[in-house]
């Protein structure tokens, strides 16, 4: 096969794992693969030498440099060369795979595929109400037409698929559910027992609006959570790291520890008994999948596909909405069951293994192979 992967996200995150592992697997099987992204990352650098092409979307358009300054000075238009378009024309891919972190930012990419008469599929990692802020009638019409012309539109949760159909008043049946892969193969990590203190982990980007860390800090800024024998370990980095540090100092929250980024998921769950995920929006969280695969329960907000993984009061504790009041209520239920967290985690592990394929990448790639061969 001759495949072209395009990620329209602006940085490496959990949303990139599926398409990247898909591309790497198909490369290892002798297929021809090109990649286009808006960022560099060590993972991509590892495979660049065996790619048929790599396009940096940050420099997608290149100007006729020798004329640019002159033409600008006299207020004339200057010609632009679309490097992505040129690479697609050169590569003549059997299939383009467009991976996106929302439902609205890839319209020009879709229309490029349509204009070049190249077959394409989409992977959408997040659909949420905040997308209404950027959507208008014209953009909705463009995107609806583009999604209709895709060979298949894949979503990582039933909730996101349902929201997509609502937002675009989408009656077509070229949509399907897929699964994000777990970043860990180890499934039997010993439950850490500490008779003196409990340990709860947040794993993800240190960013407030999406991940809801401001909601969690408001809850933890109460005497009951400050005084209880429990620690909250934050694993990750992000744009609000310094802000969180300032809040912890100002409000004298001493039982929250910023651990920084780690890719050692096994070590995280060797030292923590429960996941907390106060998100305002999610597609299908890799952190939640990984915690479940490691036999850990979770306290989560009811967003995205969370309820497709967590069974309330059995494999975890679901807050009805992403607010301090709802999160505190769910955390209180979890605290009252703290002696049962190990058994709740075992139930979470059984549920995750029963509800999804053992290899999410191979599950997706079977679809790629089928669709590329049509």
The pLDDT of residue 8: 96
Task: Tell me, yes or no, whether 209 and 337 share the same domain.
Answer: yes
Whether residue 188 lies inside any domain: the answer is no
Whether residue 189 lies inside any domain: the answer is no
The pLDDT of residue 174: 97
Q: pLDDT tens string for the chain (374 positions)?
A: 999 999 999 999 889 999 999 999 999 999 999 999 999 999 999 999 999 999 999 988 865 544 444 555 444 444 568 999 999 999 999 999 999 999 999 999 999 999 999 999 999 999 999 999 999 999 999 999 999 999 999 999 999 999 999 999 999 999 999 999 987 765 679 999 887 899 999 999 999 999 999 999 999 999 999 999 999 999 999 999 999 999 999 999 999 999 999 989 999 999 999 999 999 999 999 999 999 999 999 999 999 999 999 999 999 999 999 999 999 999 999 999 999 999 999 999 999 999 999 899 999 999 999 999 85
Task: Tell me, yes or no, whether 347 and 367 share the same domain.
Answer: no
Residue 222 domain boundaries: 198-355
Domain count, the chain: 2
- Asked whether 151 and 172 are in contact (CB, 8 A), the reply is no
Whether residue 263 lies inside any domain: the answer is yes
Whether residue 316 lies inside any domain: the answer is yes
Task: Tell me, yes or no, whether 140 and 160 share the same domain.
Answer: yes
Whether residue 187 lies inside any domain: the answer is no
Q: Which helix (H) or strand (E) holds 345?
A: helix 341-355
Residue 303: alpha-carbon gap to chain centroid? 13
Whether residue 193 lies inside any domain: the answer is no
Whether residue 88 lies inside any domain: the answer is yes
Task: Tell me, yes or no, whether 146 and 218 share the same domain.
Answer: no
Task: Tell me, yes or no, whether 115 and 156 share the same domain.
Answer: yes
pTM assigned to the model: 0.91
Task: Tell me, yes or no, whether 300 and 230 share the same domain.
Answer: yes
- Strands (E) located in 8-108: 32-37, 53-56, 61-63, 80-82, 95-100
The pLDDT of residue 292: 96
Whether residue 277 lies inside any domain: the answer is yes
Domain with residue 104: its CATH number is 3.40.50.2000
The pLDDT of residue 315: 98
Task: Tell me, yes or no, whether 29 and 176 share the same domain.
Answer: yes
Cβ count within 10 A of residue 369: 15
Task: Tell me, yes or no, whether 94 and 161 share the same domain.
Answer: yes
Residue 137, C-beta contacts closer than 8 angstroms, at least 6 positions apart: none
> In the sheet that 316-319 helps form, which strands lie side by side, from edge to edge?
256-260, 230-235, 198-203, 274-277, 297-301, 316-319
Task: Tell me, yes or no, whether 150 and 219 share the same domain.
Answer: no
Task: Tell me, yes or no, whether 278 and 242 share the same domain.
Answer: yes
The pLDDT of residue 186: 58
Rg, C-alpha atoms of the chain: 22
Task: Tell me, yes or no, whether 351 and 366 share the same domain.
Answer: no
Task: Tell me, yes or no, whether 221 and 144 share the same domain.
Answer: no
């Amino acid at each position: 096969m001759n495949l072209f992967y395009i990620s329209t996200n602006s940085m490496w995150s959990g949303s990139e794992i599926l398409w990247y592992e898909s591309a790497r697997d198909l490369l290892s099987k002798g297929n021809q693969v090109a990649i286009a992204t808006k960022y560099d990352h060590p993972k991509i650098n590892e495979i660049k030498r065996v790619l048929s092409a790599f396009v940096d979307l940050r420099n997608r358009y290149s100007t006729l440099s020798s004329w640019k300054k002159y033409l600008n000075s006299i207020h004339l238009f200057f010609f632009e060369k679309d490097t992505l378009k040129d690479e697609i024309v050169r590569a003549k891919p059997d299939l383009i795979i467009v991976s996106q972190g929302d439902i609205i930012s890839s319209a020009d990419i879709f229309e490029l595929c349509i204009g070049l008469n190249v077959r394409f599929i989409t992977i959408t990692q997040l659909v949420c109400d905040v997308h209404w802020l950027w959507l208008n009638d014209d953009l909705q019409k463009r995107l609806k037409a583009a999604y209709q012309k895709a060979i298949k539109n894949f979503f990582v949760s039933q909730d996101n698929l349902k929201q997509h159909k609502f937002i675009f008043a989408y009656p077509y049946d070229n949509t399907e559910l897929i699964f994000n892969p777990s970043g860990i193969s180890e499934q039997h990590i010993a439950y850490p027992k500490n008779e003196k203190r409990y340990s709860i982990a947040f794993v993800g980007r240190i960013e407030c609006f999406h991940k809801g860390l401001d909601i969690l800090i408001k809850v933890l800024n109460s005497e009951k959570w400050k005084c209880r024998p429990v620690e909250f370990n934050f694993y990750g980095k992000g744009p609000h790291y310094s802000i969180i540090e300032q809040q912890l100092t100002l409000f004298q929250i001493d039982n929250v520890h910023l651990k920084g980024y780690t890719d050692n998921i096994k070590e995280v769950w060797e030292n923590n008994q429960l996941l907390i995920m106060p998100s305002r929006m999610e597609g299908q969280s890799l952190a939640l999948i990984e915690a479940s695969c490691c036999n850990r329960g979770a306290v989560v907000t009811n967003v995205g596909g969370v309820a497709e993984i967590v069974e309330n009061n059995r494999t975890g504790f679901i807050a009805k909405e992403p607010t301090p009041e709802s999160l505190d209520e769910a955390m209180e239920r979890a605290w009252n069951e703290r002696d049962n967290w190990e058994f709740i985690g075992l139930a979470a592990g059984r549920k995750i293994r029963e509800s999804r394929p053992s290899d999410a990448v191979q599950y997706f790639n079977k679809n790629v192979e089928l669709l590329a061969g049509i």
